[in-house]
Chains A and B, each alone.
Chain A
């Protein structure tokens, strides 16, 4: 078991022929991910790497392959259109890797998605990995840009707003011989699809997830919302790290969503909310795995 995706999930890549999309599609296929189609308008009928069929539209790709998930690598000006194409094709999940999408586009995408069945992960996210049973966790499902080999199949769920900081935490677990059920990057933008809370709820329901790591950062209230729900509903052990204790207010720390504004979104407030919810706090990013293992 896992959340959102597993080794049988069939995946469409929107923007499969771009440099970045092509590179990560190959890595995902190597990992064992069932990449069944690419979508590039105007290139329908061709093959990617002589094996993955390319379609002109997401709807056609879904119909011909039975895919349920898509991943988006198209440039920022076209990303909102690509997400909505997948939404209107009624896929289950869209993973948007693209960074630097105008926030107004994402506001409209979220508005249009209300009441639709599709879930959005991202934008500006590293994606999702459900590790497999093979060497270096191969044989699983890797959607997005995370390095596959750092994972190990197991029972810890990871939910994070960051990319490389997530790899850091996952690697700490793997080095200690502790595997993961699913690792999810929700992305660093101010407006997101799935939130920390959405992911924690899924981990709470997943019998194969025995413990949870949350990685948060300054800006917004995603962590506080998750903490409020955890306090009353979550029975599984959780450890958290919040990045940005030393970040100056009013400055955007790399991620568009990582900003303390109007005194809101501080690391201190998020850490306080987690502590009140019974979540164990990692004092430094070097202690994320050990903080969880201590309470398991």
Chain B
């Protein structure tokens, strides 16, 4: 589950990671009031940041034409104007896709004078089944680009989950980052807080990018998390009712939310051949073979390995709501579930939604011969297929010519 930057910072702060003073706002007036409080504390500049579930906001462009989803402001008028330009407008960044995302909230925070920018994060290393702290002297950059351009700059510290991030490891990381004098103790505390956030919240990713070193008014150096990202493990949310409340449904695709309500795994894509498949691996493979034969999949859709008639019916409902779909490919391997039951489920769903587009059905496995006969005898505009290749070829052919008149 993804959460907003302001929520990620609240979690980090709770676990001992310093974040800039600030508040999230829903109107330009609120933003101005928050900025007024911060200026009143003696800070000379604030930053207004669009809150959407996507990165690349600073370089993003609003559909209104205004540039920049993140702005530094030196007075209340600038805060008001910038918040007004962001709120209620659609921001397009390299991560949002061309459709962009509507900005509903902005975060108004103190902007501190930067001495140095760093990257620190914790991820799960699938290959060893352990958390790894990743750090880099080049902060504020896209860490994936740094990994390609200058892999030596990135330092990995594997963490033993039985003991967590030990102080000696945190000191080693700090020294590697060049923070070996007055900042050493603060860095150790921050890195341990970062790891605790990952562990306690059951996150799959926690990232501070950039981590800023700044000069305090008293001349001391200090650290602050200027941007924060937390991705939570969906499977662990049952243990964290307080984290479930951070879910922002408005940031998610409505179709994907509806699919998840039916326990379907659905991801919308840009093509026109919808797929309805049982099992995640087979569903990916079905998308791949559509592409291999020159078509474009409209979605990933896994109805679950068992392919129950209820799941199949719900899947057709989701597909019926996507206007881009020009053909549907049903690919079900009926292992335990019998194909004749699935065939009857398909027929019921097709009748219910009155699809006018070609539907290619490939049922393989238990009683597939009977299932194919049931589909043929249904009188519906269904194209039956035997192998996956046969099904994909027929689906691609079906969308590459005008839709035949309905039987």
> For chain B residues 111-147, which have a beta carbon within 8 Å of chain A?
124, 126-127, 129-131, 143-144, 147
Nearest chain B residue, comparing its CB with the CB of A112: B162
| Central interface residue in A23, A101, A255, by most chain B CB within 10 Å | A255
**In the complex, the 7 A-B pairs of residues with the closest C-beta atoms, listed nearest first:** A162-B281, A254-B280, A164-B279, A165-B281, A220-B126, A147-B335, A102-B236
What 0/1 pattern do residues 236 to 250 of A give for CB contact below 8 A with B?
000001011111101
Q: Complex formed: what's the CA distance from A147 to B269 in Å?
A: 31
Tell whether, in the assembled complex, residue B199 and residue A104 are in contact, meaning their CB atoms are under 8 Å apart: yes
Nearest chain B residue, comparing its CB with the CB of A185: B281
Tell whether, in the assembled complex, residue A243 and residue B285 are in contact, meaning their CB atoms are under 8 Å apart: yes
What 0/1 pattern do residues 232 to 250 of B give for CB contact below 8 A with A?
0111101100000000000
Question: Given A254-B280, A284-B388: A241 and B127 within 8 A (CB)?
Answer: no
A111: Cβ under 8 A from any B Cβ: yes
Nearest chain A residue, comparing its CB with the CB of B130: A107
Could you say which of A192, A243, A263 contacts B281, with CB atoms under 8 Å apart?
A243
What are 27 inter-chain pairs, A to B, with CB distance below 8 A? A102-B233, A103-B235, A103-B236, A104-B202, A145-B336, A147-B335, A147-B336, A147-B365, A147-B366, A150-B335, A150-B365, A160-B281, A161-B281, A166-B281, A168-B285, A168-B364, A190-B126, A217-B281, A217-B284, A243-B281, A243-B288, A244-B284, A245-B291, A254-B302, A258-B284, A267-B288, A285-B286
> For chain A residues 240-296, which have a beta carbon within 8 Å of chain B?
241, 243-248, 250-251, 253-258, 262-263, 265, 267, 283-287
List of A residues within 8 angstroms of B129 by Cβ? 106-107, 110-111, 191-192
Tell whether, in the assembled complex, residue B388 and residue A168 are in contact, meaning their CB atoms are under 8 Å apart: yes
| Central interface residue in A149, A167, A171, by most chain B CB within 10 Å | A167
List of B residues within 8 angstroms of A222 by Cβ? 126-127
B300: Cβ under 8 A from any A Cβ: yes
| Interchain nearest-CB distance for A221 vs B (Å) | 5
What 0/1 pattern do residues 109 to 142 of A give for CB contact below 8 A with B?
0110000000000000010000000000000000
List of A residues within 8 angstroms of B280 by Cβ? 162, 188, 217, 253-255, 258
How many chain A residues touch the partner (CB < 8 A)? 66
B36: Cβ under 8 A from any A Cβ: no
Could you say which of A219, A247, A250, A283 contacts B292, with CB atoms under 8 Å apart?
A283
Tell whether, in the assembled complex, residue A168 and residue B282 are in contact, meaning their CB atoms are under 8 Å apart: yes
B85: Cβ under 8 A from any A Cβ: no
Interface residues on B, range: 35 or more
Extra inter-chain contacts (20) besides given A191-B124, A215-B281, CB under 8 Å: A76-B235, A102-B235, A104-B199, A107-B130, A111-B162, A147-B335, A147-B336, A147-B365, A171-B364, A219-B126, A243-B281, A246-B284, A254-B302, A255-B280, A258-B281, A263-B148, A284-B289, A285-B282, A285-B288, A286-B289
List of B residues within 8 angstroms of A215 by Cβ? 281
Question: Given A106-B129, A244-B284: A254 and B238 within 8 A (CB)?
Answer: no
Question: Given A145-B336, A164-B279, A248-B269: A107 and B300 within 8 A (CB)?
Answer: no
B28: Cβ under 8 A from any A Cβ: no
> For chain A residues 1-50, which have a beta carbon within 8 Å of chain B?
23, 27
Question: Given A190-B126, A246-B288, A284-B292: A164 and B235 within 8 A (CB)?
Answer: no
List of A residues within 8 angstroms of B364 by Cβ? 168, 171
List of A residues within 8 angstroms of B89 by Cβ? none
List of A residues within 8 angstroms of B199 by Cβ? 104
B267: Cβ under 8 A from any A Cβ: yes
Tell whether, in the assembled complex, residue A27 and residue B284 are in contact, meaning their CB atoms are under 8 Å apart: no
Tell whether, in the assembled complex, residue B279 and residue A221 are in contact, meaning their CB atoms are under 8 Å apart: no
Q: Complex formed: what's the CA distance from A145 to B304 in Å?
A: 13
Tell whether, in the assembled complex, residue B235 and residue A162 are in contact, meaning their CB atoms are under 8 Å apart: no
Nearest chain A residue, comparing its CB with the CB of B127: A221
Tell whether, in the assembled complex, residue A103 and residue B233 are in contact, meaning their CB atoms are under 8 Å apart: yes
B161: Cβ under 8 A from any A Cβ: yes
| Interchain nearest-CB distance for A188 vs B (Å) | 6
| Central interface residue in B281, B283, B333, by most chain A CB within 10 Å | B281
Question: Given A102-B202, A246-B291, A263-B148: A77 and B284 within 8 A (CB)?
Answer: no
B344: Cβ under 8 A from any A Cβ: no
> For chain B residues 331-359, which have a beta carbon within 8 Å of chain A?
333, 335-336
Q: Complex formed: what's the CA distance from A77 to B124 in Å?
A: 20
Nearest chain A residue, comparing its CB with the CB of B288: A245
Tell whether, in the assembled complex, residue A167 and residue B160 are in contact, meaning their CB atoms are under 8 Å apart: no
| Interchain nearest-CB distance for B109 vs A (Å) | 26
What 0/1 pattern do residues 274 to 298 of B give for CB contact below 8 A with A?
0001111111111111111000010
Tell whether, in the assembled complex, residue A164 and residue B305 are in contact, meaning their CB atoms are under 8 Å apart: yes
| Central interface residue in A160, A246, A248, by most chain B CB within 10 Å | A246
List of B residues within 8 angstroms of A102 by Cβ? 202, 233, 235-236, 239
